[in-house]
Amino acid sequence: MHRLAVVALLISSGIVPASAKKKTSPKPASNKAQIEAATRLQVFLDRANFSPGRIDGRYNDFTWMALALYRESRGEQPQAPPSHRQARQTLAPDVNGLDLGSIESAFIPYTLTEADLQTVGRLPGNVAAKAKLKFLPYRDPADAIAEKFHCDIHFLEQLNPGKLKRLKVGDQLKVPNVEPFELASVKDIQPGSETASQAANEVEDQPETQASTPGENGAPRNVSTKVDTKTNMLGVFENEKLIAAYPVTVGSAHTASPIGDWKVRGVAKLPRFRYDKEMLEHGQRSGNFYMLPPGPRNPVGVMWIALNKKGIGIHGTNDPGSIGHAVSHGCIRLANWDVVRLATKIKPGDNVSIH
């Protein structure tokens, strides 16, 4: 039983149901000190690459899971979580042994730049209209800043009451103290190998026997990725040691993620996406499709990690609020800020296990 199995304990405690949950907007936490303490823990875990998902100033389900996996990776005994959701969101977990002092402040001030506003634009709701654009941008400046700082949009509003409606260059906001996700830097990321320039979900199958890319000095790599479809968590292992974990969305019962062992083929940065409703809903390819341009609000986000099964990959999202709550069309979906970090840790030929 690999280490991700520890989160099965969280299921039995009621933290994460075996089936997907409907997305709901979180209610604001009431205690200022509790909000700051919860945010500090979330920032600490995020910086350690054990992602709590969207920063929301709460001891939410993924925060408890990320903390359990972080402790497990260090050979420590994970803390048993409270059995009720309300208790989990209000009771602080045991943080003894965590270097939370390394996070000088849970929040920092951030001043909007011209570059931030350049990522914002018109985003029609109609797929056909989206296909006519050259880039699928953020909906508004608040959308861009929330993703940049791994933040729940409602929490960003709570931190900056009345400020988000007419943001302009020079405005200052209070944001979580995470390592910012820089959209402009995605094109400069150096993954192990990039896929061809066709639509990300059009890459052909390859044999499962594809060899792993050698590590440093030609030594064999021993890096693998394991996806737990019951807990909506993805773990990265190096020499069987858990080194990172991220919340994910997996496929539904109707369009299930492909259970089994696969290989990483390559990475497409800022990919295009072939939107075929018949294929997405029923798994049947049709001639009625739209080719959607790249951008943070492309359905597969800013990164596509191709597996050796056509149409299936690990990718980003156009809706970070859906991670862990909605169901995908068979792929493994992460927040954009998490998928770019994952892409720097894996290479072609690495094993991906989905169970």
Same domain, 77 and 11: yes
Same domain, 163 and 131: yes
How many folded domains does the chain comprise? 3
Same domain, 50 and 196: no
Query: Residue 252 has what pLDDT?
Result: 67
- Does a structural domain hold residue 22? yes
- Does a structural domain hold residue 44? yes
Quick count: other Cβ atoms within 10 Å of Cβ 276? Answer: 20
- Does a structural domain hold residue 239? yes
- Does a structural domain hold residue 161? yes
Query: Residue 264 has what pLDDT?
Result: 95
Query: Residue 70 has what pLDDT?
Result: 97
**10-residue mean pLDDT series, the chain (355 residues):** 55 48 52 94 98 96 95 88 79 91 96 97 94 97 98 98 96 98 90 54 52 55 92 95 96 73 93 80 73 95 91 92 79 96 94 95
Query: Residue 207 has what pLDDT?
Result: 52
Q: Is 93 exposed, middle or buried (0-12, 13-18, 19+ CB in 10 A)?
A: buried
- Does a structural domain hold residue 326? yes
- Does a structural domain hold residue 278? yes
Query: Residue 257 has what pLDDT?
Result: 79
Query: Residue 89 has what pLDDT?
Result: 79
Using the 3D structure, point to which of 102, 123, 150 is the last residue of a domain.
Answer: 102
Using the 3D structure, point to which of 45, 76, 102 is the last residue of a domain.
Answer: 102
Domain at 283, CATH number? 2.40.440.10
Same domain, 164 and 198: no
- Does a structural domain hold residue 109? no
Same domain, 96 and 203: no
Joined together, the tokens standing for residue 170 give 């020079």
Same domain, 55 and 155: no
Using the 3D structure, point to which of 176, 195, 215 is the last residue of a domain.
Answer: 176
Three-state secondary-structure class, residue 218? helix
Same domain, 263 and 339: yes
Query: Residue 17 has what pLDDT?
Result: 47
Render the burial of 167-177: b for 16+ CB within 10 Å, e for the rest.
beeebebebbb
Query: Residue 83 has what pLDDT?
Result: 79
Rounded to a whole number of angstroms, the CA Rg of the chain reads 20
Query: Residue 329 has what pLDDT?
Result: 66
- Is 68:7 a contact under the CB 8 Å cutoff? yes
Task: Provide the residue range defining the domain that includes 26.
Answer: 3-102
Same domain, 263 and 318: yes
- Is 300:273 a contact under the CB 8 Å cutoff? yes
Same domain, 165 and 129: yes
- Rounded to whole angstroms, the Cα distance separating 49 from 40 reads 14
Closest Cα partner for 18 from 8, 31, 4?
A: 8
Same domain, 195 and 307: yes
- The number of residues making up the chain comes to 355
Same domain, 165 and 225: no
Identify the H or E element spanning 42: helix 32-47
Same domain, 129 and 160: yes
Tens digits of residue pLDDT in 211-266: 555 555 555 679 999 999 999 999 999 999 999 999 999 976 556 778 899 999 99
Strands 351-354 and 223-228 come out as: parallel
Closest Cα partner for 213 from 159, 267, 260?
A: 267
- Does a structural domain hold residue 350? yes
Q: Is the dihedral angle over the CA atoms 122, 124, 125, 129 positive or is it negative?
A: negative
The pTM is what? 0.87
